[in-house]
Amino acid sequence: MSNGVNDLYEFGSFRLESDTGTLWRGDDVVSLSPKAGELLKLLVSRKGQVVTKQEILQTVWAGTFVEDGVLTQNIYTLRLALGPDENGRQFIETIPRRGYRFAGEVRVASVGKEVQVANGRNVGSGEDYDELSAELLEEDPKLSFYRGATSAENATPTVSASPAKGRPPFLFPTILVVLTLLVLGAAGFGLYKWISRLDGKSASSVAPIEQLRFQSLTDTGDVIHPTISPDGTTLAFVRVADEESSVWVKQIATGNSIQILPPSRKGYRSLAFSSNGTYLFFRETADPGAIYQTSPLGGTPKKVAENVWSDFSISPDDKQFAFFRRDPARDLHLLILSNTDGSGERELSSRPWLSGYRESAPAWSPDGTMLAVAGASKTEARPLLLTVDLASGVETELTTPRWRDVTRILWMPDGKHLIAAARAADEGTSQVWMLDYPDGNVRRLTNDLESYFWLSFSADGRMLVTRQQRILSHLWLFPGGDIKKAKQLTFGGRNTDGYVGLAWTPDGKIVYSSRSGHITDLHSIDPNSGEHVQLTSNSGPDNAWPAVSRDGRYIAFTSHRTGARQIWLMDADGRNQKQLTVGQEPRETAYSAALSADGSQIYFIRLGAGPSSVWKIPVNGGTAVPVSHLTNATAEGFLSSSPDGKWLAFQYVAAQPEPRGEQPTLTLGILPSDGNAEPHLFDLPMRRPMIQWSSDSTAFDYFSGAFNSSSLLRQPLAGGPPQKLLDFPDRVFNFAWSLDGKDLAVARGHLQGDAVLITNLP
């Protein structure tokens, strides 16, 4: 007979609550999706027994059809969250052709809300209470979503004592503590109200986050572009597999999902419902210039517009698209309107490319007379919000905080507020904000360690869907390029090691980027001893993309410390840091340094002095001069110099991009280092625009893969098909070969994204 006592599973430094699936490491909650928590609870409760895939799917995903990849992704997520045990082994073992087994030593203790039992009958109850956890829940109610709880009853469990007779000995201390907390809470609330009245007109007042409600709509970790239907009943989203993606719709009330567009190597993106919910519009990653229309119930898509080349939005009357287009020939960024059948295109407004529009789709006002867009300041390296009048094209700047980036804007149906996904200047993650229109008062709607990017509203403005994203990246070493000899070099629960920079020194050290808080700095590590040195120290929000001279004397890098990206140089030990490039205008930037083979010159990409192009400057400083002279194209993304000094590689962006065929590709340009010829072009299915040269400069390596897996490929410079070198079961963000071409350093991990529903908005 049940006595109302729940089991607490303990293993390593972790505790797992059996009733809620909440995982604790010490006093900290480990964030897991609900399904990952259920999966862990199932495996741990079986303590060393093999649990088959079929049993897992029938238990954790009962009544739902899911692919094996969903289970694999959740197993991977749990392994990352748990890390290795004290002996360096994984807690969860894969048993080939059978299933999975929890291999850690599990201890079981009794915890609970009901602790007094007499003759098998419950005669009383008490609640274990953790003040810290309750405080966190009040400050951030999303913790209740992660923990599957809405009250303090699921706070940190404590092992139950033996039942006491008569009145519990802890009754009076408990009452005293509760009364004290109530008095302090009342006093704190009064102080808060008093301060609020004093600061009622602050432009950055804190939103009443406690009134918001958060609900997870997906838990597979592979979701992008989640979009809610106007009536709020249906969620459309893209699921990204290893090499393909597909479009799904889900009934929010029932949780039932169906696939409406089949898996495709072309990729899907930029979902948008028509105002009556009859149609769903989208773009293809491989052919981003076109907009397609389909039914939310499925069917054959119809191409309705071409030459778009950015995210788009639909007018409230469903008659017009709004989007952006680049014009490299005029060095302009254009805001374009067209009819939804592709006709009637007109240029509404334009801005110089350097201070142009952000790629976030324009946001229509509810009455269809204005657009809200994100642009770049003409005098500072920061974004700003603008409204553009459709009748006249006149732009009006809105008052906003000093954000670092804006990735999405929506106009609320009442016309009095804007919702933005934006990153504060002093933070490392993008959050959701609400702005009053037109006075610009801002309130923050999310405040956590995850990032939020994509946004979508129901027609009544009561339901907001966003994509919650998390990136985790660690450094790994593969001696001799052998995946069987893999060695993890960095550890942690929220690392982004190597994500924006990875390079070898001649003496075998690895220089890499790592973010702490909102600041990215450069570090070096000895892969043999593990000795770690921080090279840049809290000197600005971004220090990234290091390039090491072949003699090991210098490290060139990109830094944002003066307010705009510029090229800096320092000694190999981090001393003598100095700025090499200076913009002629406030918005002119330089980035992606690449040292020449003899170390005398630094090549870089310059943005602002005309179209983006390759320049060079002497390593000891001096006058920068242009190198590339491209026709109807720009050099962007990254820059890499070949070991023999003959070639420069960069991302080649044509003025009029062409469809990419059956899968998304990036165009790589290989330019003679003197710039006196047109570049050789390679269309490659690259994950990110970056390469590594072979030691003899006759080939270059790149990573391919859509989402959850990665392949390292080698492309001969002379042409021909690439050769596959290695396969990785996870996402590779960056990589670098040692100077002798023998050892491979990799920044690898995962990028997870799921749809979250926010309701009860202020």
DSSP letters for 527-569: TTT--EEESS-S-SSBEEEEEE-TTSSEEEEEE-TTSS-EEEE
Amino acid identity for residue 756 in this structure: V
pLDDT at residue number 209: 60
* Dist. CA 254–CA 257, nearest whole Å: 9
pLDDT at residue number 618: 97
- Of 395, 397, 377, nearest to 385 by C-alpha is 397
**Sign, CA torsion 564/565/566/568:** positive
Helix, strand, coil percentages in the chain from 3-state DSSP, rounded to 5: 10, 45, 45
pLDDT at residue number 674: 94
Please report, for the chain, the start and end positions of each structural domain, with discontinuous segments joined by +: 6-166, 209-461, 471-754
Tens-digit pLDDT profile for residues 311-342: 999 999 999 999 999 887 787 889 999 999 88
* Dist. CA 699–CA 442, nearest whole Å: 51
Say how many Å lie between the first and final Cα of the chain, rounded.
Answer: 47
Contacts of residues 176-185 at CB distance under 8 Å and 24 or more positions apart, as own/partner, are 181/131
| Length of the chain in terms of residues written | 762
Question: To 10 degrees, the CA torsion angle through 651, 654, 660, 665?
Answer: 10
pLDDT over 70 for what percent of the chain? 83
* Dist. CA 64–CA 578, nearest whole Å: 58
Tens-digit pLDDT profile for residues 608-656: 777 889 999 999 999 999 999 998 889 999 999 999 999 999 999 988 7
Tens-digit pLDDT profile for residues 522-560: 999 999 999 999 999 866 678 999 999 999 999 999 998
* Dist. CA 640–CA 522, nearest whole Å: 19
Q: Are 474 and 490 in contact (CB under 8 A)?
A: yes
The token pair that represents 329 in the structure block: 């020939």
The token pair that represents 86 in the structure block: 């004290």
Q: Is the pLDDT of residue 277 over 50?
A: yes
> 6-166 with 471-754: one CATH topology?
no
Q: What pLDDT band is residue 63 in, cutting at 50, 70 and 90?
A: low
Mean pLDDT, the chain, whole residue set:
82
Q: Which DSSP state fits 485?
A: G
User: Does the domain at residues 209-461 carry the CATH identifier 2.120.10.30?
Assistant: yes
Classify domain 471-754 at the CATH topology level: Neuraminidase (2.120.10)
Q: Is the pLDDT of residue 5 over 90?
A: no
Burial 625-638 (b: 16+ CB within 10 A, else e): eebbebeebbbbbb
Q: Are 358 and 383 in contact (CB under 8 A)?
A: yes
The token pair that represents 543 in the structure block: 């220090």
| Residue-by-residue DSSP string for 612-669 | EEEEEEETT----EE----SSEEEEEEEEE-TTSSEEEEEEEESS-----SS--EEEE
- Of 471, 468, 457, 462, nearest to 146 by C-alpha is 468
pLDDT over 90 for what percent of the chain? 54
- Of 300, 336, 332, nearest to 321 by C-alpha is 336
Tens-digit pLDDT profile for residues 473-510: 999 999 999 989 999 999 987 889 999 999 999 999 99
User: Does the domain at residues 6-166 carry the CATH identifier 1.10.10.10?
Assistant: yes
